[in-house]
Amino acid sequence: MASPQAPLAERLRPQTLDQLVGQQHLTGKGSVLRTAIEHGKPPSMILWGPPGTGKTTIAGIIANTLEVPFYTLSAISAGVKEVREVIAIAKEQEKAILFIDEIHRFNKGQQDALLGAVEKGIVTLIGATTENPSFEVNSALLSRCQVYVLRPLSEEDLVKLLKNAFQDDEWLRESGIELKETGALINISGGDARKLLNLLEVVCDAAGRGAVITDEKVMEIAQQRIAMYDKKGEQHYDIISAFIKCIRGSDPNAAVYWLARMIEGGEDVKFIARRLLILASEDIGNANPNALLLANACFEAVNKIGYPESNLILSQCATYLASSPKSNSATVAIGAAQAAVRNLGDLPVPLHIRNAPTKLMKNLDYGKGYQYSHSYEGNFSLQEYLPKELAGTKFYDPGKNAREEELRKFLKGLWGEKYGY
């Protein structure tokens, strides 16, 4: 139980899965993770999701439920020495859980120090990250862990948290404060439960006993007393959202402003560069293929250089991407193709484009009738490459921009009316 002097978010931290708000796909009745916890055999895992969605809480609940020693390290401050010390202590325990917050900040050496202990079951590792573990966690360590994706909390979840706070916290119950409106609290918190509850505490403390909390009151207090950007980099989703939307909207002036906000707030340089790299394909794509090349060069460069010189590289990339023609045709194409796969399942590969490395496969007509494109005029042969159930389906529709209009003209010249180019 947290001390009465602890922050509200800590005082209200759930101790059981039933108290947890949100993440029912992971912790609801019959879910895979809940079942593993109830059987006393949770795997080593990486909890991946936005800030304030319950990663640390779930780790604590697992330790409480299993009644085993619980060790916690922060990847910001801990090194290989601290990791080895915890592992040495854990060897003396029958079972132990090691929770590492912001595990994406561990370097290769620090992550490698965990491998043996995880593999031998000396510790059950629970890592928490806001970053895609495929990029930030070593493949050897990742292969030994289950990855569980935490979803952003819904507005309904956040309202429930606020109501629970007034029911469960003694200080709030006795304050006589009425929570009349919740919109501003939810908007400012950006879906982060911890930030929401800490904001509520600040507002209630400033408003005083018997106050009525309205959206106007929240905004008034927030503007006076609350920093809208966490310089530790945890509350960055509103700013990165604005940054990406400005680039998508072709406004280099707004883009460089929000970039400056992130830089001044101490945002991780790799976080910014990775978002630019994704955007180069998602929102520009074949309208300007050079965008991906520049974004990739930017990502490589800032990883080598770091702050403050990376400011210049990020600015060049952001303003270039914002000033580029836009197209989401590649994004739409892969989305439509994946939908077809999900809806129709694993359709068989047409026989003529199957590989035929053995005599048996050739006897089964694998590769029979395949037309080698380079043997035909224009290096093109009009043949079917899709499963028969999808024949003639157009997934890629070139965007309405100069570069992709050239691609459209080229494809139409090859395929005629087959795909409707």
- pLDDT at 232 (0 to 100): 46
* Spatial distance between the Cα atoms of 176 and 130, rounded to a whole number of angstroms: 37
Q: Using CA atoms, how far apart are residues 354 and 371, in angstroms rounded to an integer?
A: 12
* CA–CA separation, 93 and 67 (whole Å): 12
- Residue-by-residue DSSP string for 305-365: H-TTTHHHHHHHHHHHHHTS----HHHHHHHHHHHHHHHH-SPPPPGGGS---SHHHHHTT
Alpha-carbon gap, residue 23 to 55, rounded angstroms: 10
Return d(Cα 251, Cα 91) in angstroms, integer.
56
Q: Is the dihedral of CA 284, 290, 296, 297 positive or negative?
A: negative
Give the pLDDT confidence score for residue 318 in this predicted structure. Answer: 96
The DSSP secondary-structure symbol of 43 reads: P
Helix ranges restricted to H, 39-79: 55-66
- Report the residue count for the chain: 421
Beta bridge partners of 97: 70, 124
CATH of segment(s) 346-415:
1.10.3710
CA-CA distance, 157 to 167, in Å (whole number)? 15
* Stretch (H or E) spanning 410: helix 402-415
Spatial distance between the Cα atoms of 54 and 29, rounded to a whole number of angstroms: 17
The helix, strand and coil proportions of the chain, stated in percent and rounded to the nearest 5, come to 55, 5, 35
Residues of the chain with CATH 3.40.50.300: 23-149
pTM of full prediction above 0.75: no
Asked whether 133 and 105 are in contact (CB, 8 A), the reply is no
Residues 214 and 200: beta-carbon distance below 8 Å: no
Cα separation of 213 and 181, whole Å?
A: 6
Is residue 91 within 8 A of residue 122, CB to CB? The reply is: yes
CA separation for the pair 9, 201 (Å, rounded): 9
> In the CATH hierarchy, which fold is given to the domain comprising 237-322?
Zinc Finger, Delta Prime; domain 3 (1.20.272)
Find the radius of gyration of the CA atoms of the chain. 27
Q: Give CATH 1.10.8.60 domain extents, the chain.
A: 155-225
Homologous superfamily in CATH for domain 23-149: P-loop containing nucleotide triphosphate hydrolases (3.40.50.300)
User: Are 401 and 284 contacting, i.e. CB atoms less than 8 angstroms apart?
Assistant: no
Every domain range in the chain assigned CATH 1.10.3710 = 346-415
Single-letter amino acid code for the residue at 120: K
3-state SS, 359-394, equals HHHHHCCCCCCCCCHHHCHHHCCCCCCCCHHHCCCC
Q: Which residues contact 406 (CB under 8 A, 6 or more apart)?
A: none
3-class state of residue 104 by DSSP: helix
Tell which CATH classification among 1.10.8.60, 3.30.360.10, 1.20.20.10, 1.10.10.10 matches the domain 155-225: 1.10.8.60
Residues 6+ apart with CB under 8 A from 244: 275, 279
Q: Tell me 397's DSSP state.
A: -
pLDDT in tens, the chain (421 residues): 555 567 888 888 988 888 899 888 988 888 889 999 988 889 999 999 888 889 999 999 998 898 888 888 887 777 788 888 888 888 887 788 899 988 888 877 788 888 888 888 888 899 999 888 887 788 888 888 999 999 888 889 999 999 999 998 888 988 899 999 988 888 888 778 888 898 898 888 888 888 899 988 888 887 666 545 554 444 556 788 889 999 999 999 999 999 998 887 777 888 899 999 999 999 999 999 999 999 999 999 998 888 788 899 999 999 999 999 999 999 999 999 999 998 888 898 898 888 887 888 788 888 888 999 999 999 999 999 999 999 999 999 999 999 999 999 999 999 999 998 8
